[in-house]
Amino acid sequence: MKKPVIKYNLEISHGTSYGLEEAAALLECLKDNAPSCGKKVKQFEEEFADYCGVSFALAVTSATAGLYLAGIAAGIGPGDEVITTPISWIATSAAFAALGGVVVFADVDPITLNIDPQKIKEKIGEKTKAIVPVHLYGRCCRMDRIMKIADEHGLIVIEDCAHNPGGEYKGKRSGSMGHMGVFSFHQQKNMSTLGEGGMVTTADRVLFEKVISYRSLCCRIYGDSQKYLSIDEDVYPMNRKYWWMHFDDTGYNFRMTDAQAAVGIEQLKKLDENNRKRRVLAEALTRKLEGIKGLSLPGDDPEGNHTFHLYVIQIEDDFPVNKTDFMWELYTVKGIKAWSHYMPIHLTGPFRKQGHSEGECPVAENAFNKYVTLPIHPELTMEAIDYMAECVRELGKG
Ligand X SMILES: Cc1ncc(COP(=O)(O)O)c(C=O)c1O
Cis-peptide into 342, omega within 30 deg: yes
Residue 160 or 360 having the CB closest to ligand X: 160
Q: Lay out the site mask for ligand X across 119-148 (x = CB under 6 A, - = otherwise).
A: ---------------x--------------
160 binds ligand X (CB under 6 A): yes
CB 93, min distance to ligand X, A: 9
With a CB cutoff of 8 Å and minimum separation 6, the contacts of 109 are 115, 116, 363
Q: Are 392 and 295 in contact (CB under 8 A)?
A: yes
Out of 64, 128, 190, 230, the only residue in the binding site for ligand X (CB under 6 A) is 64
With a CB cutoff of 8 Å and minimum separation 6, the contacts of 17 are 377, 378, 379
Contact stretch for ligand X (CB under 6 A) within 60-68, 170-178, 316-324, 375-383: 60-68
H-run or E-run covering 131? strand 128-132
CB 26, min distance to ligand X, A: 20
d(CA 329, CA 77): 46
**Which letter does DSSP use for residue 4 in this model?**
P
59 binds ligand X (CB under 6 A): no
Out of 12, 59, 62, 133, the only residue in the binding site for ligand X (CB under 6 A) is 62
Restricting to residues 71-100, name those near ligand X by CB under 6 A: 88-89, 91-92
With a CB cutoff of 8 Å and minimum separation 6, the contacts of 340 are 323, 327, 368, 371, 372, 373
H-run or E-run covering 147? helix 143-153
| CA angle in degrees (0–180, nearest 5) for 334-139-263 | 80
Contact stretch for ligand X (CB under 6 A) within 73-81, 146-154, 157-165, 283-291: 157-165
Q: Is the dihedral of CA 131, 136, 142, 143 positive or negative?
A: positive
Restricting to residues 17-36, name those near ligand X by CB under 6 A: none
Residue 174 or 216 having the CB closest to ligand X: 174
Q: Lay out the site mask for ligand X across 165-204 (x = CB under 6 A, - = otherwise).
A: -------------------x-x-----------x------
159 binds ligand X (CB under 6 A): no
Considering only CA atoms, which of 38, 103, 96 is closest in space to residue 69? 96
162 binds ligand X (CB under 6 A): yes
Residue 88 or 202 having the CB closest to ligand X: 88
Q: For ligand X, how many residues bind (rule: CB under 6 A)? A: 14
Coil, strand or helix at 341:
coil
Residue 58 or 221 having the CB closest to ligand X: 58
Residue 184 or 274 having the CB closest to ligand X: 184
Which residues of this protein are in contact with ligand X, per CB under 6 A? Answer: 62-64, 88-89, 91-92, 134, 160, 162-163, 184, 186, 198
